[in-house]
């Protein structure tokens, strides 16, 4: 291989690594971000079809998810529509947007928090799920539609009220 080609390849790799590590690329996980998740879990988190009315478990509420927390309490084959106040919004290293919901907009007890996640794929599909629009939701009461997902245990203590999430979120609207 020529020296010029080797230098070009090295420069491309360095630039690619810098872009990914800076978080400028949405939807790509950094090495080590997988948290030991199985291929099945990754597939569930990245569903690309919105739930139908038949998929939605109409008995589910934010309070219900916080009350019944075991993996066996709900089904990852179902979806839900829940309402809550946006307590916190943050972008994760893998490009997903975490939205923390609670029954009270001032809730500081993390045991009363639930996380819903908007993936980069859904943000690209729907303008209503863009970064800018999601960031405007802080302190507002919203209605969220998405697939149920049970977040696998992590190595460190997780302060949230339930490991159940809506992930991916497929729709968000402000409740008047």
| pTM of the predicted structure, to 2 decimals | 0.77
Spatial separation of the C-alpha atoms in residues 126 and 108, rounded to whole Å: 31
Instruction: Give residues with Cβ within 8 angstroms of 50, minimum separation 6.
Output: 145, 170, 171
Q: Three-state SS across the chain?
A: CCHHHHHHHHHHHHHHHHHHHHCCCCCCCCCCCCCCCCHHHHHHHCCCCCCCHHHECCCCCHHHHHHCCCHHHCCCCCEEEEEEEEEEEEECCCCCEEEEEECCCCCCCHHHCEEEEECHHHHHHCHHHCHHHHHCCCCCEEEEEEEEEECCCCCCCCCCCCCEEEEEEEEEEECC
Q: What is the mean pLDDT of residues 131-136?
A: 95
Q: What is the pLDDT of residue 156?
A: 61
d(CA 149, CA 106): 26
Q: What is the pLDDT of residues 81-96, one digit of tens each?
A: 999 999 999 999 989 9
Query: What is the greatest pairwise CA distance in the chain?
Result: 65
Q: Greater confidence, 64 or 36?
A: 64
Instruction: With beta carbons less than 8 A apart as the criterion, state whether 99 and 86 touch.
Output: yes
2-31 pLDDT, tens digit each: 444 333 444 333 333 333 333 333 333 344
Sign of CA dihedral 162, 38, 129, 169: negative
């Amino acid at each position: 291989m020529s020296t010029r080609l080797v230098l070009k390849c090295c420069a491309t790799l360095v630039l690619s690594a810098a872009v990914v590590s800076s978080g400028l690329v949405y939807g790509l996980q950094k090495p080590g971000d997988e948290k030991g998740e199985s291929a099945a879990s990754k597939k569930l988190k990245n569903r690309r079809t919105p739930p139908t009315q038949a998929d939605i478990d109409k008995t589910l509420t934010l309070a219900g998810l916080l009350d019944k927390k075991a993996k066996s309490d709900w089904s990852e084959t179902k979806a839900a529509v829940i309402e809550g106040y946006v307590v916190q919004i943050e972008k994760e290293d893998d490009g997903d947007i975490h939205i923390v919901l609670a029954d009270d907009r001032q809730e500081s007890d993390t045991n009363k928090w639930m996380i819903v996640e908007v993936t980069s794929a859904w943000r690209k599909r729907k303008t209503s799920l863009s970064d800018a629009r999601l960031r405007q939701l802080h302190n507002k009461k919203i209605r969220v539609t998405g697939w149920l997902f049970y977040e696998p245990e992590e190595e460190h203590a997780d302060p949230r009220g339930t490991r159940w999430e809506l992930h991916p979120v497929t729709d968000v609207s402000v409740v008047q």
